A = this chain, B = another copy of it.
Amino acid sequence: MRHTISVLVENKFGVLARISGLFSARGYNIDSLAVGATEDPKVSRMTIVVGGDESVLEQVTKQLNKLPEIIKVKDFLNVDYIERDLILVKIKASKNIRPEIMQMASIFRAKVVDVGQDTLTIEMTGDEDKIRAFIELIKPYNIQELARTGSIALERGGK
């Protein structure tokens, strides 16, 4: 099962290594991980997407909560939340194929962020499903490079 976990941590030396070590010691492979500063530069938020058994993941969460640098751990399992991932993809595209690719991009509300002699670079955001659908659609083209941030998530506001 796919879990999205959000961890608020003190922005200290070595925290990332400790946390990722904790996951790998338990045999978890992390699907994606995004770490960035919050509005408070002393605090970072890690968003971890990991597949695995619920009971073992509960243990990892408990272990995380024991680390002194951890401020808060949240599993989005039973929460109504918004998830977003960002990709940049550079596609080989001669002039005659560009309109076709740009049309696909516009259907997905993706943005063309760079045009080279024979490349187009596209930026797109969305949840896991949307990103996957877009990657499937562009796979037949000549993908030169693809970078992806991994998911971040926030709980929805109360209705």
Interface size range of chain A in the complex: 35 or more
CB distance from A50 to the nearest CB of B (A): 11
In the bound complex, CA of A123 to CA of B116 (Å): 27
Residue A11, interface by CB 8 Å:
yes
CB distance from A36 to the nearest CB of B (A): 3
**Contact assessment for B12 and A17 in the assembled complex, using a CB-CB cutoff below 8 Å:** no
Identical chains bound together, number? 2
Residue A149, interface by CB 8 Å:
yes
Which label, helix, strand, loop or mixed, suits the secondary structure of the A interface? strand
Residue A56, interface by CB 8 Å:
no
In the bound complex, CA of A14 to CA of B64 (Å): 17
CB distance from A84 to the nearest CB of B (A): 6
Residues of B with C-beta under 8 A to A143: 39
CB distance from A98 to the nearest CB of B (A): 12
Residues of B with C-beta under 8 A to A38: 146-148
Which 7 residue pairs across A and B have the least CB separation, nearest first? Answer: A116-B157, A119-B157, A36-B148, A149-B149, A14-B24, A86-B86, A147-B152
